[in-house]
Amino acid sequence: MMAPNPNPAFAPDSPLSLEFWRPRFTEGNGSDHSMNNSKAGAKLSLGERVYEDLRIAITLGEIPQGQVFNEADLIARYKVSTSPLREALTRLRQDGLVKVIPRRGYA
Give me the pLDDT at residue 22, please: 59
Mention every residue, 6+ apart, whose C-beta is less than 8 A from residue 71. Answer: 82, 85, 86, 89, 105
The model carries a pTM of: 0.62
pLDDT in tens, the chain (107 residues): 444 544 444 444 444 444 445 566 544 444 444 444 445 557 888 999 999 999 999 999 888 888 888 899 899 988 999 999 999 999 999 999 999 888 888 88
* Sequence-separated contacts (24+) of 31-36 with Cβ below 8 Å: none
In the DSSP assignment, the letter for residue 9 is G
DSSP 19-47: TT---S--SSSSTT--S--SSTTPPPPHH
Report which residue type is found at 35: M
Give me the pLDDT at residue 99, please. 92
State how far the Cα of 47 lies from the Cα of 75, in Å rounded to an integer.
12
What pLDDT sits at residue 23? 63
**Spatial distance between the Cα atoms of 44 and 50, rounded to a whole number of angstroms:** 10
